[in-house]
Amino acid sequence: MADVAARMRELSDLLTRYNREYYEADAPSVTDSEYDRLLRELQQLEQQHPALADAASPTQKVGSRPLSAFQTVSHEVAMLSLDNAFDDDEFADFTRRVQERLDTNQQVAYCCEPKLDGAAVSLLYEDGVLVRAATRGDGSRGEDVTSNVKTIRNVPLRLQGDNIPQRLEVRGEVFMPINAFQEYNEQALSRAEKPFANPRNAAAGSLRQLDSTITKQRPLHFYAYSLGLVSDEAQLADSHYQRLQQLKQWGLPVSDKVERVDNAEACQHYYQQILAQRAELAYEIDGVVIKVDRIAYQDDLGFVSRAPRWAIARKFPAQEELTQLLGVDFQV
């Protein structure tokens, strides 16, 4: 038992350190698959030995605290993480749990989306005007990055169209397309500056610059994938997929790979289809996100501590190797 407790502490310390490197410094020292393996080990030990589980464990937390260099934004609706399914069996467990919790024999429709590998942001529109942008931070408090986000060319500063709720919080991912990332790194090296380790770090690092003229020079893009706080829900569709179409109509960019499917089997097909397209996509993805489409079902399913019960990240097999191993000194 003492050995188990010691291993749990060791895992917790390691994961806390990796979180800090990844979220605060944008400079991971281990691969995502190694991180995921350690997190999974800690989750399993906590399940097997609940008495030893710490309420402040990294398994219960989202991201990392906001940097003090930025103003802090409180998220009125928490910005959570996602649970992962690493294989077909884990995905089947997810859809079975959904069906059981909803206590229905009817087919549940899902919205299937690429899992963009960048940084999550919240965009607050009031009367259709972008008034605030924030990072996810630790899920309850993020960093105010409004002036930086305003420099991202495909983020609309003003929405257009009918029935836009007076307060509308849009959530999505800021990312750097692969070509732009490679070009940026080539130029950085030619100026004897440090390159970024991968497009995800490039996006997160560029988004959290203290000088927005630097962010403006970085080729960042944005895709919306969900909503947070909304003043008038009645103005929104009752399906997640339809809500994304509404966002598109109001001028927000949404990935054209988003699909609504009728059942769990079709989600597996979507996963295979996107996996096959992965190498040709203009941006990096590390899986697909499968969400229960009906908003009423999402509300019934609710959340656990760090993730919604109505969505899962179906992860792709790991392909990255830590570029730091090549001995290159990367930008933090």
Nearer to ligand NAD, 165 or 172 (CB): 172
Instruction: Name the strands in the sheet holding 129-135, side by side, starting at the edge strand that comes first in the sequence.
Output: 129-135, 119-126, 167-175, 221-230
Taking CB under 6 A as the binding criterion, the range among 115-123, 124-132, 157-165, 183-191 that sits at the site for ligand NAD is 115-123
Measured distance CA(110)–CA(278) in Å, rounded: 21
Per-residue binding letters, 278-307, with ligand NAD (x by CB under 6 A): -----------x------------------
Of 115, 150, 194, 257, which residue is the catalytic one? Answer: 115
Query: Does the annotation mark 115 as catalytic?
Result: yes
Nearer to ligand NAD, 24 or 126 (CB): 24
Residue 34 marked in a binding site: yes
Residue 32 marked in a binding site: yes
Sign, CA dihedral 237-78-63-188, equals: positive
Nearer to ligand NAD, 66 or 213 (CB): 66
- With beta carbons less than 8 A apart as the criterion, state whether 75 and 141 touch: yes
Q: In the complex, what is the shortest distance from the CB of residue 164 to ligand NAD, in angstroms, rounded to a whole number?
A: 21
Per-position DSSP letters for 51-98, written without gaps between them: GG--TT-GGG--S-PPPTTS-EEE-SS------EE-SHHHHHHHHHHH
At position 233, the amino acid (one-letter code) is E
Return the HEC string of 308-329.
ECCEEEEECCCCCCCHHHHCCC
Which residues does the annotation place in the binding site for NAD(+)? 32-36, 81-82, 113, 136, 173, 291, 315
- Show which residues are catalytic: 115
Which residues does the annotation place in the binding site? 32-36, 81-82, 113, 136, 173, 291, 315
Q: Which residues bind ligand NAD (CB under 6 A)?
A: 18-19, 21-22, 28, 30-32, 35-36, 62-63, 81-82, 113, 115-116, 120, 136, 173, 225-226, 289, 313
